[in-house]
Structure 1
Amino acid sequence: MEKSSLIRPVILGACIIAISLLHYFTPLHLHYLHDIFQRFYYLPIILAALWFGFRGGLLCSIIVSIAYAPHILFQWGGHLTVEMEKYLEIVLYNVVGALTGLLSQRERERTVELQKTARGLEESYQQLQQQSERIIAIEEQLRRAEKLSTLGEMAAVLAHEIRNPLGSIRGTAEILKDDYKPGDPKHEFIEIQIKETERLNRVVEDFLRMARPQPAEMSRCSLVEELETVVTLVARDAHDRGVTLRLAPFSGTAMVTANGEKLRQAFLNIVINALQATPSNGRVEIALHKVESGYEIKVSDTGTGIDADSLTKIFEPFFTTKPDGTGLGLAITRKIIEGHGGTLTVESEVGKGTTVEVRLPASH
């Protein structure tokens, strides 16, 4: 038995013994003191009832009765009126102990029931909150799906109405370019025309990629290998920008079920964005971690960061803060990640940098 469970019985026993000794060692002619002492017995009885319920209160009152009875028989013997009063007091001890214990036990049971009800209400509230969050997430997905549906319809028209004339314009411009030497103003104008047609062609390609459904072919692939490939592809760009690019070591292969090409495209978009946002002498770090649900990829940079207003819009199609950006890179990236059952979140602080977190389920 633990110390904490022994303290209360010891306190009750000490009280009963102390009160009984006061009775036995106090002269009988000081009857007013005995009247006070016999009332003291109610203290341990009530405490026992409050602490231990019906059985505790009744047991304590019986012990008090046994301790008090010899005092009545041997010290107050011969005084019938006094004895009757004392015996009635013993009856009251047991009545008070039983009733107080019963009421205390019922109150304790009621408290337990209320606590159970409170826990049930709290669990229900948490479930409702989780359901509400899921509903909000589903509504957001439906809104994005509606936008993508519209984009898909527009993409078919754009593919036919823009790309074919665009190819003709670029071909004609390249022919005209040969008629003028470098340094001629018309040569420079034609170069601008070719660059702008290339940029417009990239916009159309990104737009088509955004609307095109993800391929169904999935296979087991290694996240470590995909990230190493991405680092290799952008290493020269990072060097030219004066940015330190680092992939943190990871023990293992981190296998996931995915379309390797699309996954590589998503990681490439994220890392290129980080490099473009990071000034010279800055850092871009890529870290892969094992988490409970699968794997977590973090791409952190020491760039200029994104303000709170722009942060809420970065996944919207055609929203961009870059002069020559199409505003489709992150939208495409999130679509790829979500198509693989993962999530993509962005945290940023102006002046300190941005962290993009991708979570993907492990391969089963």
Structure 2
Amino acid sequence: MADASINLSLPLLQASQAQKHVTQNEALLALDGLVHLAVQSRSQDAPPTGSADGVRYLIAGTGQGEWTGRGGELARRHAESWMFHEPRAGWLAWVVDEERLLLYDGEEWRDLPAAFGMLGVNATADASNRLAVRGPASLFDGGSASHSIKVNKAASGDAASVMFQSGYSGRAELGLLGSDNLHLKVSADGAEWVQALTVDRVNGHVGLGKSPGPVRLEVSGSSRLTSPFAAFLQLINTGAGGTQAWIGVPDWNRSAFYIYGSVSDIMTMYDTPTRSHRLYGGGSERIRIASGGEVGIGTSSPTARLHVAGAIRAGSYLKAALPSAATVGAGTLAYVSDAAGGAQFAYSDGTQWLKMRDGNPV
């Protein structure tokens, strides 16, 4: 019959053995020293003086003094003597002065691996998903300081991203996808992907449905603003002039474009019920284009193709400076300051300029 156990080398009671309690107590003391193992240090190579019973050390180097030749073993203090235990593969030991957990691999004491090949938390990890977590939520808490999550890639052409899935099929992916710019792409089936947004890493320019261009935001396709109230797009020049422009729908029946400055304001508006276009300046309507195409200047009720409520002034020309009658076309009017017979209006018949008074050439 063997005189010691296989794994921990605990002394075994023998048949007809005298003073069996001595052997049994030795086994119990060994268990007391080895189970839930916590050692004071692993940097001692010689026994410290004044050690109390029960104190344990992992002997450093090859050992000195009473520990000579015991390097790597466990030294346990008992009854003012040192007991030694040779570690076995798989033993764990907590090192008090380092606050570190060690593992004996069969040859040496090693730090418990800081990096695991794969890890599953309530889930099974695999070669593709080295870390797998299953549960309603995950929390990364910075405590009283900041916290960040980093996703790194080896080269610019690789991907560093976060993918959002439905039924383990990709629906959206955000990250550095094949370049060092930020990309957001989406998919209806996990196979075909559409590039939705790209942000240039150098200047922060954004492209929606396209690569970023020379301006802060470019959109490929239509865009829409909706609101149950007045919907506006506001453009602001933050320079000294402080000019603003608004494009929007002030109510359900009108659409408008506004420019506001420090001195004057201009507004153009389309009125849905009357199907008319209006141009405002200085707070008052100046021009109206009616639904039939009639244009009113100074009047909101034009009755002719051009209706001017007020005086009209045409540009003044010298005869030599008149544009080609053929180019401007028949019916064009001009004021000729040096026409034969005195300054007067002239009109083009399509080939030459004729005076309004007598119909002769200017």
Structure with greater contact order relative to length (CA < 8 Å, sep ≥ 6): 1
Normalising by structure 2, we get a TM-score of 0.20
Q: Which has the higher strand share?
A: 2
TM-score (norm 1): 0.20
More helix by share: 1
